[in-house]
Chain A
């Protein structure tokens, strides 16, 4: 058990370090001749127009919101799915009720037109 997590920890560290190696290699080998035009942001080959910080649609945020709630709820379902085998039928119905409440939220958002790209 503990050694499992030790392995994961080592994996995370090594997995983060190894992708850096080609970057360092590239830094050593590649030419480096910066100039202002090269280093300006790229925009279809034209000069950059206006602020690079654009206000984007609030709809992205609505989807992220719905996602957050669903993400937490599906995470709750994992212990339920694991315990399913050892438990009586009405516990399964408990999970079904849980999913039903989840779907009610989805239906609400749908009916309110929140899932449209308005």
Chain B
């Protein structure tokens, strides 16, 4: 046990010795150490969220062919701190008709529901909050709290646009939760465990993106919808309903929603990396030491975050009826078919070598994708023909 190979246990052991030396009982010392761990993890992720403000602004600038923040500090790195100071010293306005308690609780819960996710993220094989044996469902449960926060915020503002935004957002979030949970079942099934560390470890041979590329895509799409980012950002469709459920929020309360959204996007990038791209593993490089593994994981999560930003700043917004139809008529059936096929293949191919299983699963996925695209094409053709019958060419 040394600092380089097992830093958490090393520091915990040192703290335990120190605290029991001071006369604390062992149980109390354990709880205190846990508390320190929790605090470090949460504060760390919040610092990350501050950094993400800078990343987001810089990346969107590049997408729009601008430079982005560059005045304060090198490459504008100090800019997010200036933003925070501004948010803190802004006047906090609460509408007189708002439901005060719920109004104030909503942003706290919104950020907290994202922070909760960090408890189960394994950053390296021995750096993680807790290795929960129901971690996959814990992820869904934390998302449920986020949904609740949005509906509370929208309702308590007592503003019709806020309420409408909240309803749209909640309808989107709960709808897209179904395909997300279904594809969460696929890594669970392949790994035979719900613990995220178990899922990462079982990808040592082959990343699940090779076995279930379609599942990865569905997870990514539903994660973007869950985040309420473009193209699914109709909660804040400025041209229609001003700013969605957080119209009435000012200053730091708005800041909490904003920080929650950015951290949520990054965290979901992390989950994509974790479930489908081998988490902290990178061709044996992670064995060099836990800090290398953490770097690998954060790099993969950042890549996932970048893809989510890429989607956000490229796609136009989708109308709500199209959005829900896309989920219920396309994504959910596809995810269910994928689950059934994966389960059957997983069972039937149990004896084969790993490369064989991976190859067959990959080919099956390609086949399913091809059939789906063909069906969509036929459907689209039929739709177009129906349109042409209704409105002959030239009469628009």
Contact = CB atoms under 8 A, between A and B. Distances in A.
Chain A–chain B contact at Cβ < 8 A? yes
Interface of A: 3-4, 6-8, 10-12, 14-16, 18-20, 22-23, 25-27, 29-34, 36, 38-44, 51-54, 56, 60, 63-64, 66-67, 70-71, 74-75, 77-78, 81-82, 84-85, 89, 92, 95-96, 99, 102-103, 106, 109-110, 115-117
A19 B115 contact: yes
Given A52-B158, A85-B192, A70 B38 contact: no
A84 B253 CA distance: 46
Interface of B: 30-31, 34-35, 37-39, 41-43, 46, 84, 87-97, 104, 107-109, 111-112, 115-116, 119, 129-133, 136-138, 157-161, 163-164, 167, 170-171, 174-175, 177-178, 181-182, 185, 188-189, 192-194, 242, 247-248, 251-253, 255-256, 320-321, 324-325, 328-329, 332-333, 336, 339-340, 343-344, 346-348
Given A30-B91, A78-B194, A42 B159 contact: yes
17 contacts: A7-B129, A11-B38, A15-B38, A19-B115, A22-B255, A23-B104, A25-B252, A26-B90, A32-B92, A33-B91, A39-B93, A44-B242, A60-B171, A78-B188, A78-B194, A102-B336, A106-B328
A84 B42 contact: no
Contact of A115 (B108, B136, B329): B329
Given A27-B92, A44-B242, A63 B324 contact: yes
B159 to A, nearest CB: 4
Contact of A82 (B96, B131, B192, B252): B192
Contacts of A77: 182, 185, 339
B167 A56 contact: yes
Q: Chain A binding site: helix, strand, loop or mixed by DSSP?
A: helix
A52 B160 CA distance: 5
B52 to A, nearest CB: 16
B91 A31 contact: yes
Contact of B132 (A4, A14, A43, A66): A4
Given A19-B108, A26-B88, A56-B164, A42 B115 contact: no
Contacts of A20: 108
B333 A75 contact: no
A6 B20 CA distance: 20
B321 A36 contact: no
A57 to B, nearest CB: 8
Contacts of B242: 42-44
Contacts of B108: 16, 19-20, 23
Given A71-B174, A99-B340, 10 more contacts: A3-B34, A8-B119, A20-B108, A40-B97, A42-B95, A42-B159, A42-B247, A53-B158, A54-B160, A96-B340
A110 B185 contact: no
Given A15-B112, A56-B167, A30 B347 contact: no
B35 to A, nearest CB: 6
B300 to A, nearest CB: 23
Contact of B96 (A16, A39, A81, A84): A39
Given A54-B163, A106-B333, A117-B324, A89 B347 contact: yes
A81 B189 contact: yes
A11 B119 contact: yes
A21 B247 CA distance: 22
Given A4-B132, A22-B252, A25-B88, A67 B178 contact: yes
Nearest to A89: B347
A114 B161 CA distance: 25
B94 A82 contact: no
Contacts of A30: 88-92, 251-252
Give me the 5 closest cross-chain CB pairs, A-B, nearest first. A117-B321, A26-B252, A81-B189, A15-B115, A41-B159
A34 B42 contact: no
Contact of A22 (B41, B192, B256, B346): B256
